[in-house]
Amino acid sequence: MPSQRLSQPSGDICVIVPTIRDYDCLRSYVANAREHGFDVSRLFFLLVTEDFCETEKMRTMLEKEAVTGAVFDGTRRKQWYKEHNISEYGHIVPTASHAETSFGLLYMWAHGQFSYGMFIDDDTLPHEGRDFFGRHMRNLSFDGAIERVRSDTNWVNVLYHDDDHDLYPRGYPYSAMDESVETDTITLKQGDVMASQGLWTNVPDLDAVRILMDGDLHGQAQTRTTETDYGPDFVAGRGNYLTVCSMNLAFRREVIPAFYQLPMDDNEWAVGRFDDIWSGVFLKRACDIVGGQIYNGNPLCEHNKAPRSTFDDLTNEAAGLELNEHLWKVIDGVGGDATDYAGVYAAMADRLAEGEFDKYRNGAFFNYVGEHMCDWLDCLDTLADLGGHDDRDFPRGETPATADDWTDNRSTPN
């Protein structure tokens, strides 16, 4: 049984780590926090794993690092659902899938002291000498001028700064390539930034088709990215979409109703690999309506993707490639009269659940996703009724905890 100290939620930042192997990466993140004077007591590490993994070793690691946290394998997740009277919604979090990060969102929602969440993948590391947690918190509290990017295809490539590579990240529609980009500068006020997407060096986050085009059969591509490949941090213009990768991401609690990590892998259509991508499309649409922003750039992480068959990834992605070309068009224009994140999300959920998509290969998967999105909102309502909170408790621009706790540790931005 887990110790009481590890099980008891604490702090105001829930760090969600889906892991089945390289959980030791957390040691580097904890060391980074301490190196830069970040208050580690603010961090609660939630490891989402499976029954076949080394759960006791994970708990031991958290204890040795002297941090608070919890480890949830499949059995413990089912127990948690039962304790919180949401067993009927257990299906919304798939098993043995990257999309199980959604459990972390449910956990945050049930424990109201968490004002912020972070996603960290277990094949990443923080950059040495760079304040990882502090930078994410500064981004979420950003107040000032920042670059805004738009394109004539209504999609922004988060790797657009580097003309030499000509890379497009996983999930970027093929029909939106070869875009013309324009930039300007806008001023944001504190509370505008709802999510902070840190990008990555080393192995780029590409889909299998693009990896094959880059000449690699081992899931990694031959091209590598470095810090010099990135220009200034930026936001995407209103009405423009972008890929949101959850390997290095911080967000405010308010967006959880619109940030469900979509059910992938375990479905009759065999659609996988788009959980965070599609959730990012929905989040961007909701931000555009409510008035939030997604901050992109620093802090960078080092992405050390393990070698694996590119064709395995291609098999997992192929069933959803056509749908990915059309998803954003299906929900674009939906929910415009909503006033909060849950309202926009409900409109998008209904559009997908009730739509007819027979013209697309595996189009019924859109209905499946929409139904799960509706269940997601119902599940959050149930948790709220049991003592959680919904996004209306904290209007945009107001937070239940001070986002400026980092100021005592302020240093030159990374």
What proportion of the chain, given as a percentage, has pLDDT over 90?
86
Does the predicted TM-score (pTM) go above 0.85? yes
Amino acid sitting at position 378: D
Is the confidence at residue 317, as pLDDT, over 90? Answer: yes
Structural domain boundaries enclosing 261:
4-409
* Count of structural domains within the chain: 1
CA distances from 2 to 16, 56, 106, 310, 378 (A): 18, 8, 20, 38, 30
Cα–Cα distance measured from residue 210 to residue 351, given in angstroms and rounded to the nearest whole number: 31
Q: Is residue 318 part of a domain?
A: yes
- CB of 119 within 8 A of CB of 247? yes
Q: Is residue 414 part of a domain?
A: no
Residue 8: the pLDDT is 76
Segment 270-285 mean pLDDT: 96
Is the confidence at residue 374, as pLDDT, over 60? Answer: yes
Is the confidence at residue 5, as pLDDT, over 80? Answer: no
- CB of 302 within 8 A of CB of 125? yes
Q: Is residue 402 part of a domain?
A: yes
- CATH code: domain of residue 133: 3.90.550.10
Q: Is residue 24 part of a domain?
A: yes
Q: How confident is the model at residue 7 (pLDDT cuts 50, 70, 90)?
A: low
Is the confidence at residue 2, as pLDDT, over 70? Answer: no
Q: Is residue 382 part of a domain?
A: yes
Name the least confident of 1-15, 38-52, 330-344: 1-15
Q: Is residue 15 part of a domain?
A: yes
Segment 132-155 mean pLDDT: 98
* Residues in Cβ contact with 198 at an 8 Å cutoff, skipping those fewer than 6 apart: 132, 135, 136, 248, 249, 250, 297, 298, 299, 300, 301
- Mean pLDDT score of the chain: 91
Q: Is residue 138 part of a domain?
A: yes
Residue 397: the pLDDT is 33
pLDDT, tens digit (0-9, with 9 covering 90-100), for 96-106: 899 999 999 99
pLDDT, tens digit (0-9, with 9 covering 90-100), for 280-293: 999 999 999 999 99
Segment 164-183 mean pLDDT: 93
3-state secondary structure the chain: CCCHHHHCCCCCEEEEEECCCCCCHHHHHHHHHHHCCCCHHHEEEEEECCCCCCHHHHHHHHHHCCCEEEEECHHHHHHHHHHCCCHHHHHHCCCCCHHHHHHHHHHHHHCCCCCEEEEECCCEEECCCCCHHHHHHHHHCCCEEEEEEEECCCEECCCCCCCCCCCCCCCCCHHHCCCCEEEEEEEECCCCEEEEEEEEEECCCCCHHHHHHCCCCCCCCCCCECHHHCCCCEEECCCCEECCCCCEEEEEHHHHHHCCCCCCCCCCCCCCCCHHHHHHHHHHHHHHHHCCEEEEEEEEEEECCCCCCHHHHHHHHHHHHHHHHHHHHHHCCCCCCCCCHHHHHHHHHHHHHHCCCCCCCCCHHHHHHHHHHHHHHHHHHHHHHCCCCCHHHCCCCCCCCCHHHHHHHCCCCC
How deeply is 136 buried, as exposed, middle or buried, from its count of CB atoms within 10 A (0-12, 13-18, 19+)?
A: buried
Q: Is residue 283 part of a domain?
A: yes
Cα–Cα distance measured from residue 235 to residue 294, given in angstroms and rounded to the nearest whole number: 6
Is the confidence at residue 407, as pLDDT, over 50? Answer: no
Name the least confident of 57-66, 312-321, 345-354, 400-409: 400-409
Q: How confident is the model at residue 114 (pLDDT cuts 50, 70, 90)?
A: very high
Cα–Cα distance measured from residue 224 to residue 35, given in angstroms and rounded to the nearest whole number: 27
What proportion of the chain, given as a percentage, has pLDDT over 70?
92
Residue 41: the pLDDT is 97
Backbone angles phi, psi at 357, to 5 degrees: -130, 35
Segment 3-29 mean pLDDT: 87
Backbone angles phi, psi at 117, to 5 degrees: -125, 155
Residue 355: the pLDDT is 98
Is the confidence at residue 403, as pLDDT, over 70? Answer: no
Query: Between these two residues, 166 and 127, which has the higher pLDDT value?
Result: 127
Is the confidence at residue 51, as pLDDT, over 50? Answer: yes
Residue 387: the pLDDT is 63
Is the confidence at residue 411, as pLDDT, over 80? Answer: no
Is the confidence at residue 238, as pLDDT, over 50? Answer: yes
